[in-house]
Amino acid sequence: MDIRFSCEWCGQHLAATDQHRGFVINCPACGQTTSVPAAFGITSASPVAANSADDGPLLTCPICWLQFAIGDIMHIASHDSLRGDPVLGEDAPQRFHATRFNNLGQAMDGMGLPCSDLACSHCRRKLPPGFLDAPHHIISLVGDQSAGKSYYLSVLAKVLPASLYTHFKVVMQDADPCNNSINGSLGHVFAI
């Protein structure tokens, strides 16, 4: 049985196996030492409660491919002075679990600005716009070197949008053009 708990320092949601109950570990997010709870059950030291299986379906990050519950999603601070992330470095805007919201339901950062950008709770990279608006489908191509994976993807990226519109009246577009630039990403994220 897995134990779900949060880092005492940064609030990162963590999991460990039963055999690690009571161990002291280094948090992979902030590097601080934290204890794996010795008692059964879910514990949380952060303002956001740890998630259980009742929180609905798990989301899959399109960047690191790890799954997380919607309650674990992080927001990216909008104010320029809120910088420094234990995973992404001191120049990156802070990531945080929202505890304050404005009248429009937008998360508020530490300086009171609304935040519209979301981040994965594992890799802390920015999630594409509209990430929570539609279901996601990740397709993985596996093959040996020179098997034609890159060629297949380049042809697919050219042909698929026209085929989807012709046969299903569905428009395919780049969900995050800035991060999918030549120098900005490991892969492409499309919205259908």
Task: Name the one residue in this structure whose structure tokens are 């259980």.
Answer: 52
Q: State percent of the chain over pLDDT 70.
A: 76
Q: Please say whether the beta carbons of 52 and 42 come within 8 A.
A: yes
Among candidate residues 109, 102, 104, the one with its CA nearest the CA of residue 78: 109
The closest alpha carbon to 6, from 103, 82, 70, 97, belongs to 97
> 28 with 85: CB under 8 angstroms?
no
What's the mean pLDDT when you consider all of the chain? 77
Whether this model's pTM surpasses 0.75: no
- State yes or no: pLDDT of 59 exceeds 80: yes
The percentage of residues in the chain with a pLDDT greater than 90, rounded to a whole number, is 15
- Dump pLDDT digits (tens) for 102-154: 888 888 998 999 998 999 999 999 998 878 877 766 677 788 888 888 888 88
Residue pair 48/71 in contact (Cβ under 8 Å)? The answer is yes
pLDDT of residue 2: 67
More confident residue, 49 or 188: 188
pLDDT(47) > 60: no
